[in-house]
Amino acid sequence: MATRTTSAPRGSSNSKPAGAGSGSGSGRTPAKTGRSGTGTARGTARGKQAAVVEPQQPWILRAIAGVWLGIGHVVGAGIRRIGYDVSDLEPADRRDGAALFNLALGVFIATFAWWGFKGWFPDVVYGIVNGTFGWVSLLLPLMLFVCAFRLFRQPADSRGNNRVGIGFLIMTFAGTGLAHILGGQPTVADGFDGLRRAGGMLGFLAASPLAAIHPAVPVMVYGALAFVSVLIVTATPFGAIPRRIRGAYEHLMGVDLVDAEAQRGDSHDRSYLYENAATEAPKKKRRKRFFGKDHDDATFEGYVGDEAFEHAIVDDDLPPANGAPSVPPGVRRPTQAEIAVEKIKAAQGLGSPKAVADNATEAIPMVAPTAALSPAAAPVIVPSAPVSPPPPPTPIPQRTEQLSLAGDVTYTLPSSDNLTPGSIPKERTEANDAVVAALTDTMQQFNVDATVTGFSRGPTVTRYEIELAPGTKVERVTALSKNISYAVASSDVRILSPIPGKSAIGIEIPNTDRETVSLGDVLRSQNARRTDHPMVMGVGKDVEGGYVVANLAKMPHLLVAGATGAGKSSFVNSMITSILMRATPDEVRMVMVDPKRVELTAYEGVPHLITPIITNPKKAAEALQWVVREMDARYDDLANYGFKHIDDFNKAVRAGKVVPPVDSKRIIKPYPYLLVIVDELADLMMVAPRDVEDSIVRITQLARAAGIHLVLATQRPSVDVVTGLIKANVPSRMAFATSSVTDSRVVLDQPGAEKLIGQGDALFLPMGASKAMRVQGAWVTESEIHRVVEHVKGQLKAVYRDDVAPEAQKKQIDDDIGDDLEVLLQATELVVTTQFGSTSMLQRKLRVGFAKAGRLMDLLESRGVVGPSEGSKARDVLVKPDDLAPVLAAMKGQDAPASPDAHTAALSENANANIAVGGYAEDLVATDLENRKQARDYHDGADTSEDEDDTGEDAWSLTGR
Ligand SMILES: Nc1ncnc2c1ncn2[C@@H]1O[C@H](COP(=O)(O)OP(=O)(O)OP(=O)(O)O)[C@@H](O)[C@H]1O
């Protein structure tokens, strides 16, 4: 993912014969040229250049150059289409002439060096090449082919091309030196034949001076140089060698394992769907292996406009809108009777369970109606969809990437071993049989003609399917909801009528034996492997046991809500860990807002962050305003360069097609996705409701095309937090258990979330879906998070921007001091100089009432001047008289110390050094007595001189509360 900023080299390449002039003219579409002044200016400049250069060339030269470039374009077009197609290179960007030259030279040298062609001309050239390079000339065609291939396919990557070229030059030089030693160190006296059999003339010149010291010296020097040249050609920094070797191994192994999985027709994901995409995945991986393409997924490579029926869930095989599962061509779907007979046979021990499991991957999850049973057979209810086993813990091929935003760092994504596999899910337990019996019983008791035909067991709940006899109303079953709850002894029964895509009623009942869904399993599932998009996250498992994986970029903004302990933070952790597992900091950057201060601390310092985790709600509001500014800047670029989506823009930048204006020093780089995570929206809405709402609405309305996505989590889904405006603009919702049906309506616009059973049980409503999908959220343990974060931080340190949530220039005087600043300063001075933290002393010396003195003491405590109340004793004074000045300055809102937290921390360091009472022991006894009396008076309402609502901590403790 090297950034290509190629204005200068490309400019010069255009002065090459014909191709440049004609190419730039023909290749640049009028629309694109017209989009920006820059483009036009550039085009004009080129035109002028061509006008000056071309007439000076004799026609014969131009004709030859034209033919040469014509052949070059034809060959280049072919080579660009191999594997991953890059044939959309603009003609102006191509270097086909130079590439063809490399190719032709390689072929020419190969004709005699490899294939032994004879003739006077080949002999002459062979003599020159072989005499110069010795047997290293055998490698020359290979090097030239590699250069030609790169020039055809990546002409704009001039930095990379130069690197490879220089690497090959060093390799050739070192190779000839080594060849000279290994070839027996011939001298000039041995003639050219002798030199040819070793390292040629170049090898002789390179090695003989060093060999004069000792023959081992050139071997060591040129051996090291050859090694370095391999590192240069492969762009491998020294420190990354072990990782590269490991990455290459995993890459290769991963491909093979994916192949193997595909051959097995592995079906861990939605088992009721056909796994035809399994064959697609290895193809993509193979492409990736050969062409070093990092993102073979079209959705990431370039945004090609909105897709029809776009959905956030990554699952190629989602059933079409009418609910019928898709069937690959040429595959016959078994009839329901066939499936049913198979399953019933299996359930009765008449068929091999394996046969059923195998069939199930091709079958609609159904169980035979009772009529299909033989009269003698008891109705046996079996799971409709076999539970998918967790994906084998095969490593996801590790991706190693050259980062450009971070200054050409080689970055390896964390290995999938960091996430441990989950337990094997159960397909059916005794609890399920008991529930089937209870449901059947209830139906019979109330004379409802309906049958339990099957069930699908998910990690948290099992969905039992009920089919009605003809003429039976659906309402007859839904009206039984309370009776069903009673019969199965669970209050969290949820009825779906119908199950989307089926003519059956679904009754979801919590499993008494819940299973944890491991994030590792979700990320290793076929659905997650289907795409390399960096914004894909592991959501969890649905009720049928299928892995749910979603693309945050397509949501495009997500609201996560639920009561305390319902699983929001765990979900946010899974989301962030998914991103860290799959995306480099070049691809995704994050802003984390965590007013609760504890939830996201584990991620502090990851290079994906652009600012330290923001814990202060006021700063969070500022950060949102920064996001708006960032969005505007991105939009400006999109508008200036004529792109509709940031993916298109990035693609063009990577291809070197976006150049800054001629007089600009700006280096244009691809924009990473920006994921803004707010872990408690309510805290932000409390400090600056209007600003926060404005920013959120602006971001959510526009940011999608700019690659900016918001995730807002809250445990208070009430209308004052999730306002109508916010809701209208955050289309995807993840509702964990809510405390009331009203909250459920706020989050989902429908009831249901109040029936969830907490701890990761959620209703997921991605943008565009009409029905919420019940999922058990993926779970990632703290140690897993720690491992992933350590790996990520070990690769690259976070580089924070300082304009996202800047420190305030001047600390504002805190609101809670209000008009009391003057008297608070006096109180501070008094307490610090006397080193005596007594409320009654403040009363006497400052002539204030008890309540006011108590309040001042509270303010002093909150600013770290005194310690907490210790009943009737005076408080510890934590500030030394020497430190009085900066403390007073801070209270006045002057420079040092910068923040109350830093101030408190600085003060607490001094805490131990403080002496409590000093020479005021006598005073203390007297003031305490006075204190108690006044407190009693106050409590009885006798002291009316001060603010009555404001009772200090001393007052409460003295009045015995
Ligand atoms: N996906 C899950 N799988 C298994 N257990 C979970 C899952 N999600 C949450 N839990 C359990 O629920 C507990 C509470 O979850 P979590 O802290 O995520 O809730 P929360 O909604 O963020 O609560 P709060 O708002 O108080 O922070 C976790 O400690 C864990 O035991």
Strand order in the sheet with 450-457: 450-457, 461-468, 505-510, 494-496
Q: Which of 759, 761, 775, 785 to mutate to test the pocket of ligand 1 (most atoms within 8 A of CB)?
A: 759
Confidence band of 360 (pLDDT split at 50, 70, 90)? very low
Strands 558-561 and 732-736: parallel
Q: Checking phi first, is residue 184 left (phi over 0); if not, alpha (psi -120 to 50) or beta?
A: left
Ligand 1, CB within 6 Å, residue ranges:
516, 562, 564-570, 715, 759-760, 777, 779
d(CA 32, CA 44): 13
Ligand 1 centre to CA of 775 (Å) is 14
Known binding residues for ATP are 562-569
Contact 496, 508 (CB under 8 A): yes
Q: What is the mean pLDDT of residues 124-139?
A: 85
d(CA 768, CA 178): 65
- Element at 456 (helix H, strand E): strand 450-457
One-letter amino acid of 890: A
Ligand 1 centre to CA of 787 (Å) is 20
Task: Write the DSSP string, 901-957.
Answer: HHHHHHHHHHGGG----TT-HHHHHHHHHHHHHHHHHHHTT---SS-TT---HHHHH
What dihedral angle (degrees, nearest 10) is formed by the CA atoms of 22, 27, 31, 37?
A: -60
Look up the CATH superfamily of 562-567+580-779+788-795. P-loop containing nucleotide triphosphate hydrolases (3.40.50.300)
- Element at 463 (helix H, strand E): strand 461-468
Atom of ligand 1 nearest to the CA of 566: 21
Ligand 1 centre to CA of 759 (Å) is 5
Whose C-alpha lies nearest to ligand 1, atom 5?
759
Q: Checking phi first, is residue 733 left (phi over 0); if not, alpha (psi -120 to 50) or beta?
A: beta
pLDDT at 573: 93
d(CA 329, CA 332): 8
Confidence band of 589 (pLDDT split at 50, 70, 90)? very high
pLDDT at 5: 34
Residue 948 confidence (pLDDT) above 50: no
d(CA 396, CA 163): 30
Residue 741: exposed, middle, or buried by beta-carbon count in 10 A (0-12, 13-18, 19+)?
middle
d(CA 868, CA 837): 10
Whose C-alpha lies nearest to ligand 1, atom 15?
567
- Choose the weakest-confidence range: 8-12, 623-627, 915-919: 915-919
Mark out the alpha helices in 446-525 (DSSP H runs): 474-478, 481-488, 519-524
Residue 677 confidence (pLDDT) above 50: yes
d(CA 628, CA 703): 8
Atom of ligand 1 nearest to the CA of 596: 27
d(CA 278, CA 945): 80
Number of neighbouring beta carbons within 10 Å of residue 914? 17
pLDDT at 817: 73
Residue 846 confidence (pLDDT) above 60: yes
Ligand 1 centre to CA of 261 (Å) is 33
Strands (E), 531-619: 536-542, 547-551, 558-561, 588-593
Contact 588, 536 (CB under 8 A): no
The three state secondary structure string of 21-37 is HHHHHHHCCHHHHHHCH
Ligand 1 centre to CA of 760 (Å) is 6
- Choose the weakest-confidence range: 45-59, 757-771, 852-866, 913-927: 913-927
Domain ranges of the chain: 1-74, 562-567+580-779+788-795, 815-958
The overall average pLDDT reported for the chain is 72
Mark out the alpha helices in 372-459 (DSSP H runs): 430-445
Contact 176, 202 (CB under 8 A): yes
Atom of ligand 1 nearest to the CA of 574: 1
Q: What is the mean pLDDT of residues 468-477?
A: 89
pLDDT at 90: 62
Atom of ligand 1 nearest to the CA of 570: 18
pLDDT at 352: 37
Residue 552: exposed, middle, or buried by beta-carbon count in 10 A (0-12, 13-18, 19+)?
buried
What dihedral angle (degrees, nearest 10) is formed by the CA atoms of 712, 779, 276, 533?
A: 40
- Choose the weakest-confidence range: 368-377, 506-515, 525-534: 368-377
Q: What is the mean pLDDT of residues 842-848?
A: 87
d(CA 88, CA 94): 10
Cα 545 from chain centroid (whole Å)? 24
pLDDT at 791: 92
Atom of ligand 1 nearest to the CA of 778: 1
pLDDT at 389: 58
Ligand 1 centre to CA of 768 (Å) is 27
- Nearest alpha carbon to residue 171 among 130, 210, 252, 227: 227
pLDDT at 254: 53
Q: What is the mean pLDDT of residues 92-108?
A: 84
Residue 565 to residues 561, 562, 758, 783, Cα–Cα distance (Å): 11, 8, 7, 20
d(CA 783, CA 934): 55
d(CA 55, CA 51): 7
Residue 10: exposed, middle, or buried by beta-carbon count in 10 A (0-12, 13-18, 19+)?
buried
pLDDT at 734: 93
DSSP letter, residue 513: S
Known binding residues are 562-569
Ligand 1 centre to CA of 717 (Å) is 17
Confidence band of 63 (pLDDT split at 50, 70, 90)? confident
pLDDT at 777: 92
Q: Which of 419, 560, 569 to mutate to test the pocket of ligand 1 (most atoms within 8 A of CB)?
A: 569
pLDDT at 396: 58
Whose C-alpha lies nearest to ligand 1, atom 23?
565
Q: What is the mean pLDDT of residues 737-757?
A: 89
Portion of the chain with pLDDT greater than 70, in percent: 68
Ligand 1 centre to CA of 736 (Å) is 10
Q: Which positions ≥6 away from 352 have C-beta within 8 Å?
A: 346
d(CA 642, CA 638): 6
Q: What is the mean pLDDT of residues 766-795?
A: 90
Atom of ligand 1 nearest to the CA of 680: 25
Query: pLDDT per residue over 71-84, tens digit each?
Result: 888 888 888 777 65
d(CA 588, CA 580): 9
* Backbone phi and psi for residue 743, each to the nearest 5 degrees, phi listed first: -60, -40
Confidence band of 523 (pLDDT split at 50, 70, 90)? very high
Atom of ligand 1 nearest to the CA of 573: 18
Ligand 1 centre to CA of 623 (Å) is 27
User: In this predicted model, which residue has the larger pLDDT, 190 or 642?
Assistant: 642
pLDDT at 580: 94
* Backbone phi and psi for residue 312, each to the nearest 5 degrees, phi listed first: -75, -25
Contact 746, 755 (CB under 8 A): no
Structure tokens at 905: 């921390």
